[in-house]
Amino acid sequence: MSSFPPFASEARTGRENQTYDDQYARQVAGCLPIDVKNQRILLVQSSKHDHIWVMPKGGWENDETVEQAAARETYEEAGVCGDIVGFIGDYMDYDKFDRPKTHFWFYEMHIKEILDTWPEMRQRRWFTFDEAMHVLRFKPIMQRALQRSSLASLPSV
């Protein structure tokens, strides 16, 4: 019997337990889920825009480490579990007044299990590195994280 998923069967909701830094920027953690064998990336449909693909991510809560939050959000949004194998960067996003809004923390995850059901049941889709770079063109922070992943250094097939 598998030990996955190590998380609750329902997604966490609300922001009362969310963490913020000393500049009041919301702390958000996520993963770049990679199928190592096939050298492909799993992205999920944005919760706000059906035609936009994103890396799974969400609020880092005060009862977990940033790595735990990244793994939990990846499970909740993408329905995959795996091993976090590396940190691929932290990035700040600013509001229109140039004030810190969101601090993103991204990790590379090597997928161990793909679930048939998961809390948010978002659409998910596999992409090559080049395809992911293209669909993330509206998400420059996610493109930068992808460029720091292990797949960035592999030759295109």
Q: Please give the Cα distance from 6 to 23 (Å, whole number).
A: 32
| Phi, psi dihedral angles at 98 (to 5 degrees) | 65, 30
Q: Please give the Cα distance from 84 to 93 (Å, whole number).
A: 23
**Burial classification of residue 97, based on how many CB atoms lie within 10 Å of its CB (0-12 exposed, 13-18 middle, 19 or more buried):** exposed
Burial 87-96 (b: 16+ CB within 10 A, else e): ebbebeeeee
Q: Please give the Cα distance from 93 to 142 (Å, whole number).
A: 11
Query: For the chain, what are the domain ranges?
Result: 31-153
Provide the pLDDT for residue 114.
Answer: 97
Distances (CA, A) of 95 to 24, 25, 53, 92, 102: 12, 10, 22, 10, 9
pLDDT (tens place) for every residue of the chain, 157 residues total: 333 446 666 655 656 778 887 888 899 999 999 999 999 999 999 988 888 999 999 999 999 999 999 999 999 999 999 999 999 999 999 999 999 999 999 999 999 999 999 999 999 999 999 999 999 999 999 999 999 999 997 655 5
Provide the pLDDT for residue 1.
Answer: 31
Q: Please give the Cα distance from 1 to 66 (Å, whole number).
A: 27
| Phi, psi dihedral angles at 95 (to 5 degrees) | -80, 180
Domain 31-153 matching CATH 3.40.50.800: the answer reads: no
